[in-house]
Amino acid sequence: MSILRRALLSGAAAATCLAWFAVGGTAAAQAYPSKPVTLIVPAAAGGPTDTVARLIAESMTKTFGQTVVVENVGGAGGTIGMAKVARAAPDGYTIAVWHIAQSTAPALYDGLKYDVVGDFDHLGRITDVPMTLVSKAGLPPKDIAEIIAWMKANQGKATYGHAGIGSASHLCMLILMKELGIKMEGVGYRGTGPAMNDLISGTFDVMCDQTTNTTGHIKDGRIKGYAVTTKAKVASVPGLPTLDSGALPGFEVSAWHALWAPKGLPKDVTDKLVAALKIALKDPKVLERFAGLGTEPVAEAQVSPGALKTYLESEVKRWDAVIKAAGVKASN
Ligand code: ASP
């Protein structure tokens, strides 16, 4: 048995014990969950957030002994799904996995129907996923220098796919275009799951999307990968340079994901959800799949309501400044 496998298995045993203590709780707390839990993904099925959420849901299902069912409510950069979560009963039976777009929505959407901080219980961060600059397989450029030259030469007619205004894929491309001083035409989808299908079939030219959605397709040659958007290279796509190291020094964007619920959960339900999330982030299957897709769980200290709230508030401030400087609105 390999050292990695043995470490993963002993992690599993520890996680099961933790599950028993943390989720067993008191007699009163045993009532939750007594029926299936709905986990809303505010993006289409088959995309990167969906992939992360389904891994977490599968592990939570084992922990709770109740099914955690993923419901995809995509559209409008995730704001339709998150509005549904904000309006749901705060009983722990509706929760959501979403990402960085929770922090960009206030700056991008005038008249947003919910308060991204005040209308939610913040349960914990999950993972910080690197992104990749990719293109359809038939595009001529062979490396990062060539794709940048191609985008510059073809701006005006070049097209990029994204998961709606304010989504991670949109944000990443906005920053990239700003850095390069170019404009390309955006094509919006309800998530980068369906966008990826269209990139593979060649409907549009380029996209910036999470490694959790691009790794397999880059490896299989269905799309071309040019660079990663993190400061460090990514193990799942070792051949890709960082944008920071060459073409665009300082470039850094990644898509952090987290678990939310409507504001007002009973304390024992919050505790059980946070405990189940911590167990999921030690689950050998989750760790193995995350690693294969180029990501890993955040540090355990980040898997907490207080840490997520603080982080979200700082991200809202950070992106407000960037988005205002870029002059972008959801109607753009
Ligand atoms: N990757 C998408 C985004 O750009 C979201 C998704 O489809 O999961 O935000």
Task: Report H helices in 139-263.
Answer: 144-154, 168-180, 192-200, 211-219
pLDDT, tens digit, 9 for 90 and up, residues 28-70: 445 899 999 999 999 999 999 999 999 999 999 999 999 999 9
pLDDT, tens digit, 9 for 90 and up, residues 165-219: 888 999 899 889 988 999 999 999 999 999 999 999 999 999 999 999 999 999 9
Residue whose entry in the numeric block shows the structure tokens 């206030």: 106
Phi, psi of 227 (to 5 degrees): -165, 160
Pocket test for ligand 1, best of 49, 80, 82, 103 (most atoms within 8 A of CB): 49
Cis peptide preceding 266, ω within 30 of 0: no
Q: Model-level pTM?
A: 0.86
Task: Report H helices in 25-87.
Answer: 48-64, 79-87
Ligand 1 atom 7 nearest Cα: 191
Output the CA torsion 73→100→22→71 (10° steps): 10
Residue 307 clears pLDDT 60, i.e. is over it: yes
For residues 326 and 153, which has the higher predicted lDDT (pLDDT)? 153
pLDDT, tens digit, 9 for 90 and up, residues 39-49: 999 999 999 99
Assigned token pair, 314:
């700082």
CA of 189 to the centre of ligand 1 (A): 9
- Residue 147 has a pLDDT of 97
CA of 93 to the centre of ligand 1 (A): 24
Q: Which atom of ligand 1 is nearest to the CA of 170?
A: 4
Q: Which atom of ligand 1 is nearest to the CA of 195?
A: 7
Domain with CATH 3.40.190.10 in the chain: 130-245
State the burial class of residue 329 (Cβ atoms within 10 Å of its Cβ: 0-12, 13-18, 19+).
middle
Q: Which residues' Cβ are closer than 6 Å to ligand 1? A: 43-44, 47-50, 101, 162-163, 167-169, 191-193, 209-210
CATH for the stretch 130-245: 3.40.190.10
Domain with CATH 3.40.190.150 in the chain: 37-129+256-326
> Quick one: fold of 37-129+256-326?
D-Maltodextrin-Binding Protein; domain 2 (3.40.190)
- Residue 332 has a pLDDT of 46
